[in-house]
């Protein structure tokens, strides 16, 4: 199964090779039809920072269980298996803090593993920070629809942060999905979100999702919304996502273009990382055509 990463700032990857395919995956995809959404114009989306499969339930675990971030352990795979049922109920999933296959993950590409287990026919992973055999820090995409184009972007600042830009369809009526995980430091985050805002501004139908490491009132997030012409759908819930065991901060976000109709937004009580996942159900314009 071919997988691709790049060393350039951005690179287009033909969707026919960017999305992993095997006979088993194609058969699994066929068994999943129709889509989880009620119609081709409803899209159920999830964003989840999975912390490379590590379950954290106390602040002290960052110290006492820090070895889990560098060494393999069997609980990691069990934890990934707990995610499968949740992920499998969505049409499109953006993952952050995924390992692309190293010592700590037992040399398992976690995006690929979750794609097959949750029966997603199309998947892609972007390695943002490679530490050789010790760690492969990545973003990931799982999709029930076939991408037309996938482009990787390296974000400004120190190496290690990236964005996956995915186009579903062609021309002005294509749907553009951007998956990001930006820096902890505010100075770098301002540059990165500014870059992403300029990047998505050229597209009319955008879904941007990821771990933005800042709250909804942060100036850099307001700038991103203004530059990219994006809105953050209102949520009836508290919408705090971090830390998962006692959520106090809203740092995981899904932003959309005003052209996309929002049905529902949720923060899910699924604490198998140090973040909680965020989901949104969208109604797409009829002019957007998605291909399975």
| Sequence spans of domains, the chain | 22-283
Q: What is the CATH number of domain 22-283?
A: 3.60.10.10
Q: Cα-flanking dihedrals φ and ψ of residue 4, to 5°?
A: -135, 140
Q: Record the pTM.
A: 0.86
> pLDDT, tens digit, for every residue of 115-160?
999 999 999 999 999 999 999 999 999 999 999 999 999 999 988 9
> pLDDT, tens digit, for every residue of 167-226?
999 988 999 999 999 999 999 999 999 999 999 999 999 999 999 999 999 999 999 999
d(CA 99, CA 102): 7
Sign of the CA dihedral running 41, 46, 47, 51: negative
């Amino acid at each position: 199964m071919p997988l691709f990463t790049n060393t350039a700032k951005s690179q287009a990857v033909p969707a026919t090779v960017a999305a992993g395919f095997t006979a088993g995956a194609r058969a699994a995809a066929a068994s999943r039809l129709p889509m989880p959404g009620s119609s081709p114009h409803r899209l159920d989306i999830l964003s989840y920072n999975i912390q490379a499969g590590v379950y954290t339930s106390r602040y002290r675990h960052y110290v006492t269980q820090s070895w889990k971030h560098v060494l393999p352990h069997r609980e990691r795979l069990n934890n990934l298996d707990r995610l499968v049922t949740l992920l499998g109920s969505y049409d499109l999933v953006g993952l952050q803090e995924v390992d692309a296959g190293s010592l700590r993950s037992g040399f398992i590409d976690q995006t690929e593993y979750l794609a097959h287990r949750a029966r997603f026919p199309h998947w892609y992973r972007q390695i943002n920070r490679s530490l050789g055999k010790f760690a492969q820090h990545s973003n990931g995409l799982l999709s029930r629809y076939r991408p037309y184009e996938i482009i990787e972007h390296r974000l400004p600042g120190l190496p290690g942060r990236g964005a996956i830009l995915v186009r579903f369809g062609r021309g002005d009526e294509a749907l553009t999905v951007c998956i990001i995980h930006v820096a902890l430091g505010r100075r770098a985050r301002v540059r990165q979100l500014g870059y992403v805002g300029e990047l998505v501004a050229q597209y009319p139908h955008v879904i941007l999702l990821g771990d933005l490491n800042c709250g909804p009132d942060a100036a850099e997030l307001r700038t991103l919304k203004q530059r990219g012409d994006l809105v953050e759908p209102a949520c009836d819930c508290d919408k705090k996502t971090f830390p998962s065991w006692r959520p106090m901060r809203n740092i995981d976000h899904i932003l959309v273009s005003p052209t996309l109709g929002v049905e529902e937004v949720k923060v899910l009580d699924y604490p198998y990382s140090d973040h909680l996942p965020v989901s949104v159900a969208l109604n797409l314009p009829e002019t957007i055509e998605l291909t399975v």
